[in-house]
Amino acid sequence: MDRKTQTIKLKDSRKLAYIDYGDTLSTKLVLQHHGFPSSKMEGLIFHEKALEMNIRLITIDRPGFGDSDIDADHSIKKYISEDLVELVEQLEPKPTEISMLGISGGGPYVAASLFYWPRHVPPVKNAVFCAGLCPNDPKIANCSFKFRMMFNMFSWSWYVLYPTFSLQAWMMKSFFTTYLEESEKQQENQTSIRNKMKSALTTADYEALSQNDNENFKIFMLFLRDAYKNPDYLNVFIKQAWQYTADPGFKMSEIETKANVTVFQGGIDTQVPQEVGELIASEIKGAELKLYPDEGHLSLIINKKQEILAACLK
């Protein structure tokens, strides 16, 4: 699959990068909001199915990720109501239907699209959360102590987050650099990396990444490498973390939408636990929860991609 990075120039002269997956001539458009940290390469997971289902799937680098310029004034609201609107208005052919798909850390952006998407562009017809994080909401106070601790970590000061993300970056960069490096020992190196990751993943996630002769491991490494492309990635990651715990300007219960809202959730997800999917589905009026007890964080996305894309076609 050879889809190249495309960019548009926004009104404030920033560059917004994306990849056009699936059927690029389809007027049924899905805007994919990648996880954290991740990038536009994440759409590789869905490309073949999107092509088969005649879906145009566009996965965008959020500001500072991948090839998109940093936005000093980035907010979830601004990104949804300004950046993405400019992108949609420049697309050809013009979409007649728009769906939002949020993977993991892309979840709050899907929620915001149901509240902030302007009326002068085609409305959001479907909104799909997949192992999706929820936006900051008062009801998080009712979640487990473990999740509240994990979520509130995103609000820590720069002096705490910087060394935390630095350590994470050192480990992840060594993984994807070694895994993707072409050398005489590439196969041996890849096996070593997979074995190291095995202990950190649920069995379901490891098995899903190992499918297709470990092709999904390669995709995972590609979108991670792309996420770390910006030289100032640590500050980009910190500001993204702060956006998750910032006041989004709405409560999930205040969302009034005609869109079909579907929440896909794995029962053994250790990164975005089941209670988060249940919270989103209970707070957004009319939302449908699809719970898969035996799926983890990554396995849900990989094993249920056809069902996920079908939810974007209601």
CA separation for the pair 78, 80 (Å, rounded): 5
Q: pLDDT for 45-59, tens place per residue?
A: 999 999 999 999 999
Q: What is the pLDDT of residues 153-171, one digit of tens each?
A: 999 999 999 999 999 999 9
* Token couple for 123: 């409305």
Domains in the chain: ranges and CATH:
5-152+246-311 (3.40.50.1820)
What mean pLDDT is reported for the chain? 96
SS3 label, residue 287: coil
Distance in angstroms (rounded) separating the CA atoms of residues 53 and 21: 12
Does residue 173 have a pLDDT over 70?
A: yes
Provide, for the chain, the percentages of residues in helix, strand and coil under a 3-state DSSP scheme, each rounded to the nearest 5: 50, 15, 35
Q: Are strands 28-33 and 56-60 parallel, antiparallel or unpaired?
A: parallel
240-250 pLDDT per residue, tens: 999 999 999 99
Helix axes 233-245 and 158-180, enclosed angle (nearest 10): 120
Quote the pLDDT of residue 184: 86
Q: Which amino acid is at 76?
A: I
> Which pLDDT belongs to residue 119?
87
The first and second tokens of residue 261, run together, are 């809202």
Which residues, listed in sequence order, are joined to residue 82 by a DSSP beta bridge? none
- Would you say residue 74 has pLDDT above 60? yes
Count of CB atoms situated within 10 Å of the CB of 157: 9
pTM of the full structure = 0.97
* DSSP code string of 155-186: GS-HHHHHHHHHHHHHHHHHHHHHHH--STTH
pLDDT, tens digit, 9 for 90 and up, residues 121-135: 999 999 999 999 999
According to DSSP, the β-strands at 56-60 and 15-22 are: antiparallel
Instruction: Give me the amino acid identity at 196.
Output: K
C-alpha span between 222 and 177 (Å, rounded): 10
| Of 104, 103, 87, nearest in space to 14 by CA | 87
Check pLDDT > 70 for residue 260.
Answer: yes
Residue 202 has phi, psi (to 5 degrees) of -70, 160
Backbone conformation region of residue 220, classed left if phi is above 0, alpha if psi is from -120 to 50, else beta:
alpha
